[in-house]
Amino acid sequence: MQNILITGGAGFIGSHLTRLFVTKYPEYNIVNLDALTYAGNLNNLKDIEHAPNYTFVKGDITDIAFVSNLFATHQFTGVLHCAAESHVDRSITDPLAFVRTNVIGTVSLLQAAKEHWKSNMAEKVFYHISTDEVYGSLGNEGFFTEETAYDPRSPYSASKASSDHFVRAYFHTYQLPVKISNCSNNYGPFHFPEKLIPLCIHNIIHKKALPIYGKGENIRDWLFVEDHVKAIDVIFHKGKVGETYNIGGHNEWTNIDLVKELCKQMDQKLGRAVGESEQLITYVKDRAGHDLRYAIDATKLKDELGWLPSLQFEEGISKTIDWYLNNSEWLDNVTSGDYQKYYSSLYGS
Ligand code: NAD
Ligand code: DAU
C-alpha cells in the first residue's frame, strides 16, 4: 500500500503521470495537488476523475502550512513532484513567478517530507521531475550526461537548477530519500499551446502564422510524453535513492525541420494541397538567450533500468496531431480568454 502525492497533476506531464499511476496501481492512493494555474486543467483528467484511488486537492505548493497539513492527513509514502512554472518565454517576462513556484515550492515540499518522514525511510521516495535545460546549451557535438556541469541560462532553467540543488541538499544533509530525473522536450496530447508543437498545430488548423524564433536552427530532443512517464514509473520503483537519471528521446530535430514535418503531416490529414501550410512559416525575433541545442545521453537509464523510448517520432507526432484534431473542444477551451492576451503580448497578433 502506498499513499502518493503527485504535484502539478493537472498539467501536461503531470496528467499523463497521474493517469498512469491511478490505472496501473489500483492499490495505491493517489492525491493530485495542483493550484490550477493557467497551465492546470482538470479536463486533462476527465477519464479518471471518479476512480476510487484518486483524489484531487486544489492548493499551492508554496503554502508550507497547507502542504504540511496535507502530509499529516494523507501520510504520504511517496512524492512525484511535477508542479512548476514551465515555459521559458514566460520566465523571461516574469522570473519571480519561477523562483516562487519552482524554488520556494520545491523547498516547501522537501521541508514537509523531512518533517513527516521520521521512520521507515527505506519505504519513502521524494522524486523530483526536472529538465535537461539545467545543463545549459550544447554546440553541434556532444550530449548531456548525468555528470555534465550545471549551466542554466534562462530564468526557467536557473529556477529548475536551483530546485535540483535543494533536492540534493536535502539528501546529503538530512538523508531524505530523493530521486531526480532530467528529461528532454516532451510532446503529446494535453500539451498547452504556448509550446512550439501544440502552438503550431493550433495555428495550422486556423491557418495562422507559424512563428519561428531566429533562423529555426535550434535543436531539441523530442520524447513522447507517455514514454517519459513510463521512465518515471521505472525510476520511482527501481531507481537508486540519491541518484539522477537523464531521460531523452534519441530524437534531435531543428525547429524548422520539425515545423515542416508538422505542416506536411497536417496537410495530408486536413486534405490540403502539398506545401500549403509551409507558407504560414514566419521567422520572428529570436528568444533572448536562446539555447542552441539540447541532446540527452540516456545510457545510464537504459543500462541500469532497461528503459528505452518505445515510439518513433513520425508515429508519435502523427498520434499527437490526430489527438488535437479529434479534441478541438479541449483546444478551443484552452485558447479562449487569457490565452489570447498572452499570445498578442508575445507575438503581436
Ligand atoms: P505544465 O506547465 O503543463 O504543468 C504545470 C502544473 O503545475 C500545472 O497543472 C499547474 O497548475 C501546476 N502548478 C504551477 N504552479 C503551482 C503551484 N504553485 N502549486 C501547485 N501547482 C502548481 O508543466 P509540464 O510541461 O507538464 O512540466 C511538468 C514538470 O516537468 C515541470 O517540473 C517541468 O520543469 C518538467 N519538465 C517538462 C518538460 C516538457 O517538455 N514539458 C521536459 C522536462 C521536464
Ligand atoms: O528541454 C526540456 C524543456 O522543454 C522543458 O523543461 C520546458 O518546460 C519545455 O517548455 C521545453 O522548453 P523549450 O523552450 O525547449 O520548449 P518550447 O516548446 O517553448 O520551444 C521549443 C523550441 O522552439 C525552442 O528552440 C524555441 C522554439 N520556438 C518556440 C515557440 C513557442 C519557436 O521557434 N517559436 C515559438 O513560438
| Domains contained in the chain, CATH given | 3-185+222-250+292-312+340-347 (3.40.50.720)
- The catalytic site residues sit at 132-133, 156
pTM of the model: 0.98
SS3 6: strand
pLDDT band with cut points at 50, 70 and 90 for residue 97: very high
243 CA to middle of ligand 2, Å? Answer: 27
pLDDT at 237 over 90: yes
pLDDT at 1 over 90: no
β partners of residue 244: 180
Q: From the centroid of its chain, how far is CA 269?
A: 27
Return the closest-CA partner of residue 62 out of 15, 112, 130. Answer: 112
* Distance, CA of 249 to CA of 298 (rounded, Å): 8
Q: Whose CA is nearest to atom 10 of ligand 1?
A: 40
Q: Whose CA is nearest to atom 30 of ligand 2?
A: 196
**For position 337, what pLDDT does the model report?**
84
298 near 169, Cβ under 8 Å?
Answer: no
* Distance, CA of 214 to CA of 219 (rounded, Å): 12
- Ramachandran region of residue 322, left (φ > 0), alpha (ψ -120 to 50) or beta? alpha
**For position 182, what pLDDT does the model report?**
98
pLDDT at 349 over 80: no
pLDDT at 8 over 80: yes
Q: Which atom of ligand 2 is nearest to the CA of 131?
A: 6
220 near 212, Cβ under 8 Å?
Answer: no
What's the sign of the alpha-carbon dihedral 73, 170, 130, 65? positive
Return the closest-CA partner of residue 67 out of 108, 21, 27. Answer: 108
**For position 127, what pLDDT does the model report?**
98
* Distance, CA of 195 to CA of 24 (rounded, Å): 29
What's the sign of the alpha-carbon dihedral 50, 54, 55, 56? negative
Q: Which atom of ligand 2 is nearest to the CA of 221?
A: 1
256 CA to middle of ligand 2, Å? Answer: 13
pLDDT band with cut points at 50, 70 and 90 for residue 60: very high
112 in ligand 1 pocket by Cβ < 6 Å? Answer: no
pLDDT band with cut points at 50, 70 and 90 for residue 260: very high
Nine-digit cell at 122?
A: 527505506
Q: From the centroid of its chain, how far is CA 196?
A: 13
pLDDT at 71 over 90: yes
pLDDT band with cut points at 50, 70 and 90 for residue 283: very high
* 107-144 pLDDT, tens digit each: 999 999 999 999 888 899 999 999 999 999 999 999 99
100 CA to middle of ligand 1, Å? Answer: 13
| DSSP E strand stretches across 35-184 | 54-58, 78-81, 125-131, 178-183
Q: Which atom of ligand 2 is nearest to the CA of 213?
A: 33
**For position 277, what pLDDT does the model report?**
98
